[in-house]
Structure formats: structure tokens, C-alpha cells
Chains A and B, each alone.
Chain A
């Protein structure tokens, strides 16, 4: 199966700074990479995703980059705000299954 590793496990940034979360995957057949935000006690919510035939995708303050050769993808959040504080998960889809990273707890300090 697939193995997804995510770093860092915790991240603290000052409000207005950027945050970067990185993930690697092991199976080159994985072709879809979503990112989820999960607030305490809530369900995961999709915030951005990228397909394997795309190198970068941006949605306002959030961007994702994918390097298929190196098998890694990253989430970039610019101009962070306190409401960005949450746990973020990366995932990789291999055929029908999704494999998740272990999560990054992001704290934005006002």
C-alpha cells in the first residue's frame, strides 16, 4: 500500500507569517492529493487538492505544490490568521483508497 509521511507535527507562527507543511508519499501510482483542515471535535474539511498532472494550485491564501519526481507535496498558507489554527492532514489517493498523514497542529499566534 501507500505510505504518507507528514512534517512537522506541530507548527507555531505569528499572525501574518506564512506556514508550510510538507508530505511525502511512496507509491508513484498515487494520483490525487487532498489537504484537509480539522478543528477540534469537528470533521475533516477539504481545503485544497491537486491532481498528479498539475504542479501547483492556488486558492486565495492557500497553495499546494506537487513534485512527482521526488514524491512530495506541500501546503502553503500565506498571511496566516488566528482562524487558521487547526490540525491539517495531507492524503494521497491510490486507486480507491486514501492514505492520510499523521497531521500537523498549526497554531497562529495573534
Chain B
């Protein structure tokens, strides 16, 4: 099993450009998450999904959109990139389990720089 994979690993954008980050998981997990990690800020939740066709906002959703058309994929879109969106983006997935306590599995991250 590949676990959670992210595409691309690195990307440089100019202000105003758009892009889509792809997260894929092969563990048949129901829940998927997109986080951003900035120095000194920990991980902050952007959007999440609790099943195919569903999405919801997290702590910092502004400037991002997401889609979960297939259970194994969770896409994060930036319509008009801004320098403030320079960050490392992590995707995660988990199965809620019997008591909802199962761990998250993280992807390797995407380092995005917006000039």
C-alpha cells in the first residue's frame, strides 16, 4: 500500500496563478483533511471531508476550495494564489473506527511558494 500520496511535492507560483494539489489514499478511509503548516504555527486545518461528495470548512478556509468526487481523492484548489499562501501543505486521511478515535495518516507534504 502506498498510504497517502500528494502531488506535486514542490511548486512555485506567481501571485494570481491557480493550481490544484492532489491527495490520494489507498486505505479506503472515509475522512480526509487538508492542513497547512507555517513556521511557529503548527498545523491548521483548511478543509476536510467526511465522505465522498462532502466537504466542510476548517479553521483557515479562505482562498481555498476543495472537492471529493472520489473516495480515494481529495483535491485542494487555489484560484488566485497570494504570497500569504506560501506554506507546506499536508493531506491526511483516517477511518473513524468504532469510537471515532483512529489516527490520522499524513501524506509527505507539498511545499508551495507564491512569489
Contacts and interface: CB of A to CB of B under 8 A. Distances in A.
Interface residues of A, number: 24
- DSSP majority for the B interface? loop
Q: How large is the interface on B (under 10, 10 to 19, 20 to 34, 35 or more residues)?
A: 20 to 34
B62 interface: no
A93 B109 CA distance: 21
Nearest to B91: A43
Contacts of A99: 45, 59
A96 B56 contact: yes
Interface string B69-109: 00000000000000000000010000000011101101111
Interface of A: 1, 6, 9, 31-32, 34, 42-46, 49, 51, 89, 91, 93, 96-103
A96 B31 contact: yes
A100 B17 CA distance: 30
Nearest to A52: B101
A101 B42 contact: yes
